[in-house]
């Protein structure tokens, strides 16, 4: 994988936890994402926004992490999504199951 995955958690704003992701996510690199999502839930964030604008690649392990988080907390994904991510979500039907917004501003109000 070329783009090193990065997960950054921003300070909560009015109960919303924003997690910014960038790079490529696969089975070897999803632990930081899992941990950030679990921390948001454990800390009682009323909404978790995952900024995916700079995620260039994801595989089924990231899909699984997103679906698990979606079941346990109010998760909103912020785009715009890369064409690879959008295609993955479309092919698996995840695009109809998850809250996906056009950008971070929209995600924070949903």
Residue 31 lies in a domain: yes
Per-residue confidence (pLDDT) for residue 2, from 0 to 100: 58
CATH number at residue 72: 3.30.750.24
Q: What is the pTM of this model?
A: 0.94
What range defines the domain where residue 37 resides? 6-109
Q: Give CA separation, 110 vs 11, 20, 58, 102, in Å.
A: 18, 17, 24, 11
| Tokens, residue 64 | 């699984």
User: How many domains does the structure of the chain reveal?
Assistant: 1
Residue 1 lies in a domain: no
pLDDT in tens, the chain (110 residues): 458 999 999 999 999 999 999 999 999 888 999 999 999 999 999 999 999 999 999 999 999 999 999 999 999 999 999 999 999 999 999 999 999 999 999 998 87
Residue 15 lies in a domain: yes
């Amino acid at each position: 994988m070329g783009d090193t995955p990065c997960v950054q958690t921003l300070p909560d704003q009015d109960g919303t936890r924003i997690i910014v992701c960038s790079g490529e996510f696969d089975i070897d690199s999803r632990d930081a994402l899992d941990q950030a999502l679990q921390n948001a839930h454990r800390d009682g964030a009323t909404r978790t926004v995952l900024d995916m604008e700079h995620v260039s690649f994801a595989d089924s392990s990231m899909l699984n992490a997103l679906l698990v988080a979606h079941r346990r907390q109010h998760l909103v994904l912020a785009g715009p999504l890369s064409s690879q991510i959008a295609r993955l979500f479309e092919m698996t039907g995840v695009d109809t199951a998850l809250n996906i917004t056009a950008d971070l501003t929209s995600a924070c109000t949903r």
